[in-house]
Amino acid sequence: MLSGRSKHLRLVASCLLSTLPAANATEPAPSLTFYKNIAPIVYRSCSPCHRPGETAPFSLLTYQDVKTHARQIADVTKRRYMPPWLPEAGYGEFEGERRLSSTELQTIQDWVQQGSREGSPADAPPMPAFTAGWQLGTPDLIVEASKPFQLRADGPDEFWNFVLPLPISSTRWVKAVEIKPGNARVFHHANLLLDRSGSARRSEKTPGSGFGGMDLAIEEDTFDPDSHFLFWKPGSVPWVEPAGMAWRADPGMDVVLNVHLQPTGKVESVRPSIGLYFSDHPQTKFPMLVQLEHDGALDIPPGDSHFLVSDEFRLPMAVNVLAVYPHAHYLGKVLEGYATQPDGTRKWLIRIPDWDLNWQAVYRYRHPIFLPKDSVISMRYVYDNSAANPRNPHNPPIRVKSGDNATDEMGHLWIQVLPVGEQDQRMQLQEAIMRRRLEKYPGDFSAHFNLGSLLLTRGDATGAIPYFEKALQVHPRNAPARNELGAAFLSQSKTAEAIEQFQIALDGDPGYADARYNLANALASEQKWELAATQFRKILQENPQDQKARDHLLEVLSMWAHDLLAANKLEEVVLCYREAIGLQPRDATLHTNLGTALARLGRLTEAIPQFEAAVAIDPDLEAAKHNLASARSMLQLQKP
C-alpha cells in the first residue's frame, strides 16, 4: 500500500499529465504552398510537356493551371502514371530520370489535402525557360518532308514513314538531330533511320509520298550496321553525341522518319522537318546496336495473362553498354533485360513492371555498364492478352501474333554497345548476331543476306555466295541480294554470272543505281564499252549530279575511243570524244584527241578550234601546240 505522502505525489503527477498532449498525438503538418513546395516539382517534371506548343492536353505553368488540375495531378502521380517513367528503380541508373521521389509524391498529396494553397509569390522558384524554335540553335541543315501526310480523323494509331534525301555534296559528321513534328497535336514519337542504299525510297509508290508501317528494315548493300539511337518524343531534349561518336552522313543517302501519329477527331495534315547539327571531328568510336527478340514465338492465346517470350545472346567480346531501348506493343506487361556474367553474377540493364507503348523511350545510362566477354544478355517479356488488360486493343481478346501493325505484337530489346579493345570489332559482333538469328530462324532472309554481305566485305566471296543463294531461295526477286551475289561472282572473275545477277536485279528494280553501277563496271571489264556507256548514261539520266557515274563514263569513253582509233573508226572516235568533252569541258587532252581525230578525217577547220581550246586550257601541252601548228600549215597548203 502507498503511504499518505505517496498518494499525494501520485495525485499531483496525474494533474500534471492531464495538462500535456497525449503521447500519441502528432503536431499539425506545416502548411504547404504552391510557390514554395509544389512549383519546383511541377516546373522540373511536368512543365516541359505541359506548356503551349507541346502535345500535353493542358498547361501547367501557373498556380491557377495547377490548382485547376490539383486532384487529377494527385491521382496520376500517386499511381505513378505521371510523370511518365517506365523503368523500375534499382534496375539501372539512367540520364534524365523523371521518376518522382516518395517525398515528392507525398508532398503533392498533402498539398491537395490541405486545400492547394497558393502561398507567397516571393517563395516562387524561377519560371522554367524554354527555348523557342530549335533547342540547339539554328541547325547546319534543315530537311523537310516534300509532301504532307493526311492523317484520318479517327481510328487506330497510324505509323508513317517520311523518306528525306540529304542534300549534301560531301561527307559530314552529325553530332545531333532535332525533329520538328509539323503538327504537335498528333505526333506521339518518332525514330530516325539511316538509309544509304535507297531501299526505303524504293518502297514509295510515288517519290516523296512516304509509306506506312510501324517497323521497317533498311536493306544495306555493304556492311554498315545500325549504331545510334535516333529517337524523339515530345518534351525530350535533343541528344548530343559524345566526342568521337558523331555519325556519318554521305552524299546521296536518305534518312527515314518513322512516326507514331494519333488521330484527333478531325483530319490533320502532318509535314515534319529535321535539323542536323554537324561536327568538324570525324567519328573515332564505333558503337553498334544489338537486338534481342523472338517474334517467332509470339502466338498469344486469348485470355492468357502471363505469356512469356525470351531470348539471349552471348557476347563474343567485352563491351560497354551505353543505352537500351525496350519495345513491345499493347499487350506487353513486364519487360526485363539483364546480363549474366561469366562468374554467374547478374547485372540488370532494365526492368519495366508495367509497360505502356505510349511512353516508350530510349534510356541512356548515367555511366556505361561494362560486360566482359562471354556475358549472356537475356530478354524476358511477359504479355497480358486478357480482358483485364486495360490496354488490350481487342475486346473480347483474340489470338495475337507478331506483325508490323500496332494491334499485332512485338518483343524487342535493343542495346547500344561499344566494343572494348580493338578500335572496330563490329564485324565480329555482327557475325555473332547473325549466326544467333539463324539458330532461331534457319530460313531467315535478312540473316543470310547480312552474313553474306559481312563475309564479302571481309573479302571472303567463296564463303559469302552460299548465304546469298540461301537468301534468294526465300526472296528470289530481291534486288539487293541479287546485286550482292553478282558482286561476289565479279570478285571471283566470274563475269558472265555476275552480269546475269545484276541484270535480274535491274529487271526487278530499274531504279537500283548500285546494281546498274556494278553491271556497267562488269561490262567494262569485258571491254564491252558501248554497253557499259549505256548503263552509265542511264544513271546520269536519273541523277545528273552523280560525279562517280560521270567519272566512270568518261573513263569508258576514253577506252572506247582508244579501241576505235586502233580500228581506224574515226567517225565513232569523234563521237566518243565529243561526249567526253561534254562531261569534262576543261580537259586539254580530250580537246587534243578530238582535234587529232578530226584532222585525220581531213576536217581541219573543225580540228583547229579543238587544238586552240586545248592550248588555252593548258599552254604547256606540247601535243596540242604541235598539232595546232601542223593543222594550220596543212590548211594553208590546201588554199588555192
**DSSP H or E run through 288:** strand 288-293
Q: Is residue 25 part of a domain?
A: no
**Lowest mean pLDDT segment, chosen from 236-240, 270-274, 584-588:** 236-240
Q: Are residues 256 and 292 in the same domain?
A: no
Q: Are residues 241 and 319 in the same domain?
A: no
Q: What is the chain's mean pLDDT, rounded? A: 89
Which string of b and e fits 256-266 if b means at least 16 CB within 10 Å? Answer: bbbbbbebeee
> How many domains, the chain?
4
pLDDT confidence of 218, banded at 50, 70, 90? low
Cis amide leading into 83 (omega within 30): yes
CA distance 484 to 265: 47
Q: Are residues 589 and 553 in the same domain?
A: yes
CA distance 323 to 245: 14
Would you state the cell numbers that stand for residue 188, as one nine-digit string?
506521339
Q: What is the mean pLDDT of residues 495-506?
A: 97
In this prediction, residue 511 carries a pLDDT of 86
Tens-digit pLDDT profile for residues 74-121: 999 999 889 989 999 999 999 988 889 999 999 999 999 999 999 999
CA distance 595 to 610: 5
CA distance 500 to 492: 14
> Residue 417 in contact with residue 288, Cβ under 8 Å?
yes
Q: Is residue 447 part of a domain?
A: no
CA distance 206 to 213: 16
Q: Are residues 298 and 420 in the same domain?
A: yes
In this prediction, residue 332 carries a pLDDT of 97
CA distance 325 to 368: 15
**Final residue of a structural domain among 123, 155, 179:** 123
Residue 606 has pLDDT above 50, yes or no: yes
Q: Are residues 259 and 355 in the same domain?
A: no
Tens-digit pLDDT profile for residues 285-297: 999 999 999 998 9
Residue 534 belongs to domain with CATH number: 1.25.40.10
The more confidently predicted of residues 24 and 30 is: 30
**294 CB neighbour count, 10 Å cutoff:** 17
**Lowest mean pLDDT segment, chosen from 6-20, 213-227, 234-248, 268-282:** 6-20
CA distance 290 to 451: 15
Would you state the cell numbers that stand for residue 466, as one nine-digit string?
552460299
Q: Are residues 300 and 272 in the same domain?
A: no
pLDDT confidence of 8, banded at 50, 70, 90? very low
Q: Are residues 293 and 431 in the same domain?
A: yes
Q: Are residues 528 and 574 in the same domain?
A: yes
The more confidently predicted of residues 435 and 57 is: 435
The more confidently predicted of residues 125 and 20 is: 125
Residue 26 has pLDDT above 50, yes or no: no
Q: Which residues pair with 121 in a beta bridge?
A: none
Q: Are residues 217 and 246 in the same domain?
A: yes
Cis amide leading into 396 (omega within 30): yes
How far from the centroid of its chain's Cα atoms is residue 162's Cα?
12
**Final residue of a structural domain among 229, 244, 279:** 279
pLDDT confidence of 208, banded at 50, 70, 90? confident
* Residue 55 CB contacts under 8 Å (≥ 6 apart), including other chains: 49, 184, 185, 187, 188, 234, 235
Would you state the cell numbers that stand for residue 206, as one nine-digit string?
510515288
In this prediction, residue 222 carries a pLDDT of 52
Q: Is residue 165 part of a domain?
A: yes
In this prediction, residue 29 carries a pLDDT of 55
Tens-digit pLDDT profile for residues 526-541: 999 999 999 999 999 9
Got the DSSP string for 552-613? HHHHHHHHHHHHHHHTT-HHHHHHHHHHHHHH-TT-HHHHHHHHHHHHHTT-HHHHHHHHHH
Q: Is residue 468 part of a domain?
A: no
Residue 421 belongs to domain with CATH number: 2.60.120.230
Q: Output DSSP code: residue 186.
A: T
Sign of the C-alpha dihedral computed for residues 91, 97, 100 and 101 taken in this order: positive
pLDDT confidence of 19, banded at 50, 70, 90? very low
Q: Are residues 65 and 168 in the same domain?
A: no
Would you state the cell numbers that stand for residue 372, as one nine-digit string?
566482359
CA distance 448 to 469: 9
**Lowest mean pLDDT segment, chosen from 156-170, 232-246, 429-443:** 232-246
> Residue 365 in contact with residue 354, Cβ under 8 Å?
no
Q: Are residues 631 and 537 in the same domain?
A: yes
Q: What is the mean pLDDT of residues 478-484?
A: 94
What 3-state class would DSSP assign to 279? Answer: strand
> Residue 624 in contact with residue 592, Cβ under 8 Å?
yes
Q: How many CA atoms lie within 13 A of 243 on its CB side?
A: 0
pLDDT confidence of 3, banded at 50, 70, 90? very low
Residue 405 has pLDDT above 80, yes or no: no
Of 114, 119, 95, residue with least CA distance to 40: 119
CA distance 615 to 622: 9
Residue 1 has pLDDT above 50, yes or no: no
**Final residue of a structural domain among 80, 95, 123:** 123
* Residue 602 CB contacts under 8 Å (≥ 6 apart), including other chains: none
In this prediction, residue 148 carries a pLDDT of 93
Tell me the one-letter amino acid at 211: F
Residue 184 has pLDDT above 90, yes or no: no
Share of the chain above pLDDT 90, in %: 73
**Lowest mean pLDDT segment, chosen from 195-199, 233-237, 348-352, 607-611:** 233-237
> Residue 94 in contact with residue 364, Cβ under 8 Å?
yes
pLDDT confidence of 485, banded at 50, 70, 90? very high
pLDDT confidence of 186, banded at 50, 70, 90? confident
Range of the domain at 306: 288-440
> Residue 236 in contact with residue 130, Cβ under 8 Å?
no
Neighbour-count burial of 631, counting CB atoms closer than 10 A to its CB (0-12 exposed, 13-18 middle, 19+ buried):
buried
pLDDT confidence of 467, banded at 50, 70, 90? very high
Q: Are residues 544 and 631 in the same domain?
A: yes
Q: Is residue 482 part of a domain?
A: no
Residue 203 has pLDDT above 90, yes or no: no
Residue 168 belongs to domain with CATH number: 2.60.120
CA distance 483 to 508: 11
In this prediction, residue 5 carries a pLDDT of 37
Residue 542 has pLDDT above 90, yes or no: no
Q: Is residue 596 part of a domain?
A: yes
C-alpha triplet 262, 263, 269: angle, nearest 5°: 100
Tens-digit pLDDT profile for residues 266-277: 999 999 999 999
pLDDT confidence of 423, banded at 50, 70, 90? low
Q: Is residue 456 part of a domain?
A: no
Q: Is residue 524 part of a domain?
A: yes
